[in-house]
Amino acid sequence: MSFTRVLIANRGEIARRIQRGCRKLGLETVAVFSEADRDAPFVAEADHAVCIGGAAPSESYLNVEAILDAARVTGAGAVHPGYGFLSENADFAAAVEAAGLVFIGPDADAITMMGSKIEAKAAAEAAGVPVLPGYRGADQSDARLLQEAQALGTPFLVKASAGGGGRGMRLVTDLADAPEAIASARAEAQGAFGDAAVFLERYAPRARHIEVQVLGDSHGTVLHLGDRDCSLQRNHQKLIEEAPAADLPDALRDDMRAAAVRLAQAIGYRSAGTVEYLYDPARSEYYFLEMNTRLQVEHPVTEAITGIDLVEWQLRIARGEALSPAQRDVQFSGHAIEIRIAAENPAENFRPETGQITLWAPPAGVRLDTGVQDGSIIGHHYDSMIAKLIVHAPDRDGAIRQAVGAIDAFAVDGVGLNLAYQRALLTHADFQAFRHHTSGLVDMFPGGWAEPAPDARDMALAAMALHLHLAPAGA
């Protein structure tokens, strides 16, 4: 399981993050890139780089044969998938290992099991992890699904078994709408995942999204690295994440963490993974949602409060090393918040922004995981998230203040970002008092969000800043 060169089958900020982890261990890196990413920072910073195809993901970052060819050509001994793209594709993991390479992540069987929401929930139940009431049977006939819907009662969700990110999901509040909801969820699931299987589960309004980070080695040890709250979401996509999850009863928090470890142990999980829950404060109950068999976008907040480098440990575990810390050695310090920075216009229904970044001056003193720099071109081919801003303070209020200050100090031009919207979320009374939930944006901004118009003072300060920026040095 020894390797000295790692191919990173991804792009942008996560590719740079993995490069940093490799350098820490003295490992060389191989970047694979599309034609659109030829001049991207992650390509320039890699030890070796190979163009694997056109801008479309299907021609490059989802092209398994091209990725494996690049590994062979460059002599890479391992492949790190990052997140997104092929990171939770069991066939890709199996192909990597069949090519004689090390896949930096769990084995294909674990990915397959947790990739099916139906199988994952069955595994969770077997491990004694609570799941939402519902129907997850093999009989997918309309008659059986409608019968189970009647027994379950409204409100309930129809969800794609192979789904994620809200695709293949429908909320049913009236049983008369169930046939249409089932049909449309099936059609979307088939189109998005090639699998039309669905399941039903009770819908918990005003619920929170809590997750537990786990780390397992190939020697049977599984640790939890605490919990995170990712309840602030738009269309089931996370906006702001924080660790630890605030305002949880201690006994329930301990139970969530222990349940995550039990599940990971039960499936022989190896590498970093995340067990996700739905927490219903009204019932003081939590339920298993899914397990992500990869590094999460929000992993930096866990690193901030534990001091444990998750990418480093993914690499160590892939080399066959045993986890050196015991659970009692994992300590938690302070509170961390991560803000996803996206090239989009929230005031115009989150319209993606494209173009060239002509000014990129991020704040000092905070962690910024970014895939761009001055002069970077933002195209339309990939996800709009281009960076993550992470702050760490002694407590939650301090972390919020630090995050707001960092946003206020962030200077960017050429491409619009969602910074003003994220600032509005951070400073909203519901977020600060922890009243937000997974569908809470409607409550927070009933008429939708509109970017505040600058007043005369703001305009004067902006004009002065522009003048100073453009003035010759020493003028």
If one counts the domains in the chain, the total is: 3
Does 124 reside within a domain?
A: no
Alpha-helix runs per DSSP H in 116-208: 117-126, 142-152, 178-193
Tell whether 158 is covered by a domain. Answer: yes
Domain final position from 202, 218, 239: 202
257 with 213, same domain? yes
- Please indicate, yes or no, if residue 117 is contained in any of the structural domains: no
DSSP 201-224: EE--TT-EEEEEEEEE-TTS-EEE
Question: What is the bridge-based pairing of β-strands 102-103 and 78-80?
Answer: parallel
Which residue, 168, 184, 202, sits at the end of a domain? Answer: 202
Q: Report the CATH number at residue 97.
A: 3.40.50.20
- Are 249 and 138 part of one and the same domain? no
**Strand ranges of the sheet holding 102-103, from the earlier edge strand across to the other edge:** 48-53, 28-34, 5-8, 78-80, 102-103
In the 8-state DSSP scheme, what is residue 131? B
Q: Is 294 a catalytic residue?
A: yes
213/287 same-domain check: yes
pLDDT value, residue 445: 94
Structural domain that includes position 244: 208-444
Active-site position among 257, 294, 396, 423: 294
Residue 25 near residue 59 (C-beta atoms within 8 A): no
Roughly what angle, to the nearest 10 degrees, separates helices 310-318 and 299-306?
100
Contacts of 436 (CB under 8 A, 6+ apart): 231, 232, 428, 430, 443, 444
pLDDT tens string, the chain, 475 residues long: the values are 789 999 999 999 999 999 999 999 999 999 999 999 999 999 999 999 999 999 999 999 999 999 999 999 999 999 999 999 999 999 999 999 999 999 999 999 999 999 998 999 999 999 999 999 999 999 999 999 999 999 999 999 999 998 777 889 999 999 999 999 999 999 999 999 999 999 999 998 889 999 999 999 999 999 999 999 999 999 889 999 999 999 999 999 999 999 999 999 999 999 999 999 999 998 899 999 999 999 999 999 999 999 999 999 999 999 999 999 999 999 999 999 999 999 999 999 999 999 999 999 999 999 999 999 999 999 999 999 999 999 999 999 999 999 999 999 999 999 999 999 999 999 999 999 999 999 999 999 998 899 887 777 877 877 887 788 788 766 6
- The pLDDT tens digits of the residues spanning 232-264 come to 999 889 999 999 999 999 999 999 999 999 999
Q: 274 - beta bridge partners? A: 213, 292
- Domain check: are 19 and 83 in the same one? yes
Instruction: Give the model confidence (pLDDT) of 49-60 as tens digits.
Output: 999 999 999 999
DSSP, collapsed to helix, strand or coil, labels residue 243 as strand
| 230 in the same domain as 346 | yes
Note whether residue 115 is domain-resident.
Answer: no
Same domain for 404 and 368, yes or no, is yes
Do 266 and 181 lie in one domain? The reply is no
Does residue 127 form part of some domain?
no
Tokens of 214: 């786990």
For residue 462, being part of any structural domain is answered with no
- Shared domain for 286 and 360, answered yes or no, is yes
Q: Based on the domain organization, do 318 and 233 belong to the same domain?
A: yes
Does residue 450 fall inside a structural domain? no
Domain closes at, from 180, 202, 224: 202
Whether the Cβ atoms of residue 399 and residue 391 lie closer than 8 Å to each other:
yes
Q: Kindly report the CATH number assigned to the domain that includes residue 169.
A: 3.30.1490.20
Q: Quick check: is 460 in a domain? A: no
Identify the pLDDT of residue 475: 61
Domain of residue 435, CATH code: 3.30.470.20
Residues 49 and 34 in one domain: yes
Cβ burial, residue 194 (10 Å; 0-12/13-18/19+): exposed
pLDDT recorded at residue 204 = 87
Regarding whether 306 and 235 lie in a shared domain, the answer is yes
Within 13 A of 72's CA, how many CA atoms are on the CB side? 13
Same-domain pairing of 212 and 311: yes
